Homo-oligomer: A and B are copies of this chain.
Amino acid sequence: MAHKPHEECGLFGIYNKDGLQVAEETYLALYALQHRGQESAGIAVNDGGVITVHKDMGLVPDVFDEKTIKKLGSGQLAIGHVRYSPSDKLERANSQPLVMRYVKGTLAIGHNGSIVNIPELKKELEYGGAIFQTSCDAEIIAYIIARERLNAGSIEQALVNTMKKLKGAYSLVMMSPKKLIAARDPQGFRPLCIGKIGESYCFASETCALTSLGADYVRDVEPGEVVVVDENGLRSLKDHCGQKSSLCIFEFVYFARPDSVIDGQSVHFARQNAGRILAQEHPVEADLVMGVPDSGLDAALGYSYESGIPYGMGFVKNRYIGRTFIQETQKQRERSVSIKLGALGAAVKGKRVVLVDDSIVRGTTCANIVANLRAAGAKEVHMRISSPPFMHPCYFGTDISSREHLIACKMSIDEIRDHIGADSLGYLSIEGVHAIAKESNLSMCDACFTGRYPIEVPDEMPKDKYDQKIKA
């Protein structure tokens, strides 16, 4: 488990009516959604019913270049996907979009989320003679759609029927030869929005992708909604709408990009709000408030506004992405040096500093940062966390999964404070975190903090059952 929790995927889809180059639009959108998944990227283009796909392990600009984008050709529809998964699942076979042929032709699917009743769905399929070539949920979903399609009049109806069987978190973007389809699970765990460029509709996990393309934001896909775009325009199937929602609150705390708006709520302001409430809940006398770049910056600003303590900069982040060797080298030196984050000694020397971050996972990095601040001369370091402590695994599409690595499962807050070497430590309260997204009218999932799962989850979620059997 890395030092930050990870969102597991980002989605995009577009139905071109304006002479757009759909592959290039999708490429740029995925680049804007890169923070949602850094391990694989893929684009599938549909040109007159022929689907061409290119996908591989790596970042968007590594997987695609001018040549690969050109090779995808120009089509009417395209969908794209970026994926993160815990490192032991590093499989090229799992990269998406998943493209499949079935009785009614071809289908490309991108999935963001996690289905909790996979084991029983899988067992049922297996006893029907199914074979699995990946370990991603999208393959299971594809199977069920293929089977439902045998008795449904349309692909969207087959999807609606499929959704009856799926339990858990899923935002989906799909492409049949003639239709672009988006769907969001009834709880709306993961975000998904609708945009428009000229007359062309598109779907994206976050609005930052729309902004990046110059697209207008239309609205979010509703929890439970299926949205179909074809030559007749956009229409909606709401069979699964109207249930109590459970939007992942951590999208606001950390996952989403600050310039995105989810279900009406600016992510940047949600984080500022978190910082403000944090300042109310955990005030302290200090000279400077600073955020850990980049995850703590928005909340630090809010803390500064609310507390009146000046906002400052405490670190310089190396602008150049380090690859594995930098990362490994850094790991070995973690205690003593600061390769990616240079402490700004002049700014903190002799100062009482409030240091804000979004969360603490294992505590190692946090301890390292505090130590560097002290080495740079900070007199006091008061750690403030803009979310409650992680206590419970997430089953809905993030990698907050193992109690063993979550420091808050093993230590009291005082112990954590001592462990990270801070003078004081304050977490945002559960009530506080629920107050950060006032503009959103969805209710939120806070299970990682409270253990109150909005839908039933298996006693022991066998996340890795299949993965241990095959690696690629």
* Residues of A in contact with B (beta carbons under 8 Å apart): 24, 27-28, 31-32, 34-35, 38, 49-54, 59-62, 64-66, 69, 93, 98-103, 105-106, 126-134, 139, 142-143, 146-147, 150, 208, 211-214, 257-259, 261, 266, 268-269, 294, 297-298, 301, 304-305, 310-313, 315-316, 318-326, 328-329, 333, 336-339, 342-347, 466, 468-472
Contact = CB atoms under 8 A, between A and B. Distances in A.
B101 A132 contact: yes
B28 A339 contact: yes
B325 A52 contact: no
Contacts of A65: 323-325
B344 A259 contact: yes
Contacts of A344: 258-259, 266, 268
Given A53-B472, A61-B325, A131-B143, 7 more contacts: A34-B320, A52-B470, A99-B133, A103-B126, A128-B129, A129-B130, A298-B313
Given A257-B316, A320-B59, A131 B102 contact: yes
Nearest to A128: B129
A7 to B, nearest CB: 13
26 contacts: A24-B329, A31-B318, A31-B322, A31-B326, A31-B339, A50-B468, A60-B320, A61-B325, A61-B326, A66-B325, A101-B131, A101-B132, A101-B466, A131-B143, A208-B342, A211-B337, A211-B343, A212-B337, A212-B342, A258-B313, A259-B315, A259-B345, A261-B345, A266-B347, A269-B347, A301-B311
Contacts of A319: 34-35, 294
Given A269-B347, A316-B208, A328-B66, A53 B470 contact: yes
A51 B470 contact: yes
Contacts of A213: 337
Nearest to A101: B132
A268 B312 CA distance: 11
Q: Which of A127, A129, A325 has the most CB of B within 10 A?
A: A129
Nearest to A47: B471
Contacts of A24: 329
A131 B139 CA distance: 9
Nearest to A51: B470
A106 to B, nearest CB: 5
